[in-house]
Amino acid sequence: MKERLQKLISGAGIASRRAAEELILAGRVRVNGETAALGMSADLETDTVLVDGVLLRAPEERMYIMLNKPRGYVTTLSDEKGRKTVAGLVQGAGRRLYPVGRLDLNSEGLLIMTDDGEAANALMHPAHEVEKVYVVTVQGRITSKQIAAMEALRAVGGKPISPADIKPLRPDGENSRLRFTIHEGRNRQVRRMCESVGLNVRRLVRVAEGELKLGELPAGKWRELDREELAYVKGLIAEKR
């Protein structure tokens, strides 16, 4: 069955649909020996599709995992500075998996990794407003005025953001703990929100993305998504189409 090229490329885990469109526009995709154009369709059973000269094959069964990223790992597959990467933590998966979104070097917690470009795009697509929940430990005691000021923020790093929902949690010794619920994934968004009211972040852990919950998964360990979690991801993909 013929499908749009960008869907085939995304389904093969090479790139998101948007990135696949850019590959086509750049002339890096060929169908049956001819340079492809945006809007073209193909059938991988009868057509020869090359991306950067590599044959595009029908996708195998995709893999979707949840990793509890520890502090001190970068969310990339390789690092020019020689730092530890999340790729090293999931080598046992037996295939090349890509992180969905990012957690900075000193942040921890839930990180979805997959070889399904469509799923990654659906989880990150702004239209779905997938809630991201973080438990944040800050130095000292926090005031209701500081919480209100952070909830009133509408931009971080010059980029617009939706209102955040921030709830105080039980203190941890001399530190305060907060539960942040946001919808964007701006670079260091939660840390910047805290910095805007003079708070020093001691620990930041992502505990949920939409219906995907970190639960009791140990730091540095990973597991495949269960049936209900996978159904949630597939539902997001269906909404996007």
Task: Specify the amino acid at residue 118.
Answer: E
pLDDT tens series, the chain, 241 aa: 788 999 888 877 777 788 899 999 999 999 999 999 999 999 988 999 999 999 988 766 789 999 999 999 999 988 999 999 999 999 999 889 999 989 999 999 999 999 988 888 889 877 777 899 999 999 999 999 999 999 999 999 889 999 999 999 999 999 999 999 998 878 899 999 999 999 999 999 999 999 999 999 999 999 999 999 999 998 888 776 5
CATH 1.10.3720.10 fits 64-126+215-240, yes or no: no
Q: Which CATH class is domain 131-209?
A: alpha beta
167, HSE (Cβ side, Cα atoms, 13 Å): 8
For this structure, is 104 an active site residue? yes
| Domain 64-126+215-240 matches domain 131-209 at the CATH topology level | yes
User: Structural domain boundaries of the chain?
Assistant: 3-55, 64-126+215-240, 131-209
| Euclidean distance between CA atoms 112 and 185, whole angstroms | 14
Q: Is the dihedral of CA 6, 9, 12, 13 positive or negative?
A: negative
Question: Measured at the alpha carbon of residue 26, what is the angle toward residues 33 and 75, in degrees to the nearest 5?
Answer: 115
Query: Which one from 47, 52, 79, 104 is the annotated catalytic residue?
Result: 104
Contact partners, residue 143, CB within 8 Å, separation at least 6? none
| Euclidean distance between CA atoms 111 and 129, whole angstroms | 17
The answer to whether 184 touches 163, Cβ cutoff 8 Å, is no
Contact partners, residue 119, CB within 8 Å, separation at least 6? 62, 64, 100, 233, 234, 236, 237
In this structure, CATH architecture of domain 3-55: Roll (3.10)
Task: Specify the amino acid at residue 230.
Answer: L
Q: pTM (2 decimals)? A: 0.76
- Tokens 């001691």 correspond to 202
Per-residue pLDDT tens digits for 154-201 = 999 889 999 999 999 999 999 999 999 998 878 899 999 999 999 999
Residue by residue, DSSP assigns 177-211 as EEEEEES---TTHHHHHHHTTT--EEEEEEEEETT
